[in-house]
Amino acid sequence: MRLDKFLSQYTDYSRSQIQQLVKANRVAVNGELIKKADHKLNGGELVMLDNRQIEAFNARYIMLHKPLGYVCANSDSEHPVVLDLLDMARKLDLQIAGRLDIDTTGLVLLTDDGQWNHRITAPKQECTKTYLVTTADPIPDDVIQLFAQGIQLHGEKNLTRPAQLDILSSHTARLQIHEGKYHQVKRMFAATGNRVVQLHRESIGAIQLDPALAPGEYRALTETEIQEAVR
């Protein structure tokens, strides 16, 4: 592979920018400064840009603890986006598998594997999402059965799919849903006359938010998590 192609694939620099970097003696291969951007790589070489190693990567699978105030989008004119939290090359190539509202915290998955993303987010997959919910008013016990039967949301033709609600205290509950309608959790509680004041996603499928991750932190998924997420 040509050096300029390798660097354009695994950094955010364009081919023309890489040519300028090479001319500025900022690129080295196996300890030697390279003079031509079309230098041939055979694989296994140590490629350095500004004394930083550039490594090839395969598909990426990332767990992020989304904080308040961030939008699940690639760009937004008014608010910071979750990609701003990532320190890595080619982050605009990442897809968000399961978006959260700006005022919702918790587990967000990102990947550049489109098939894996589809298997998690496609409605027919019925991937379970678990949320910790805090409400403005007390949660009555009869809401458990309502959620289990399905809720009629405003503007929707069909009931929501059966959901499991476990009441933890007067104003908190853990909710498991198997779909991802727009503002679904908030709309479900609104349909019962209550209002969600805090919402935190704990898991997507078999992937649990790592308790070691503070808001804004992220890590790569383990191989086990990658495989279990789409079973």
Q: Which of 76, 101, 113, 210 is catalytic?
A: 101
76 part of the active site: no
Cα–Cα distance measured from residue 170 to residue 165, given in angstroms and rounded to the nearest whole number: 13
Q: Is 117 helix (H, G, I), strand (E, B) or coil?
A: helix
Cα–Cα distance measured from residue 78 to residue 71, given in angstroms and rounded to the nearest whole number: 9
Own/partner long-range contacts of 23-28 (Cβ < 8 Å, ≥24 apart) = 26/50, 27/3
Q: Which ranges of the chain does DSSP label H, i.e. alpha helix? A: 3-10, 15-23, 114-121, 142-149, 184-191, 223-228
For 77, residues 6+ apart whose C-beta sits below 8 A from its C-beta are none
Q: Active-site residue numbers? A: 101
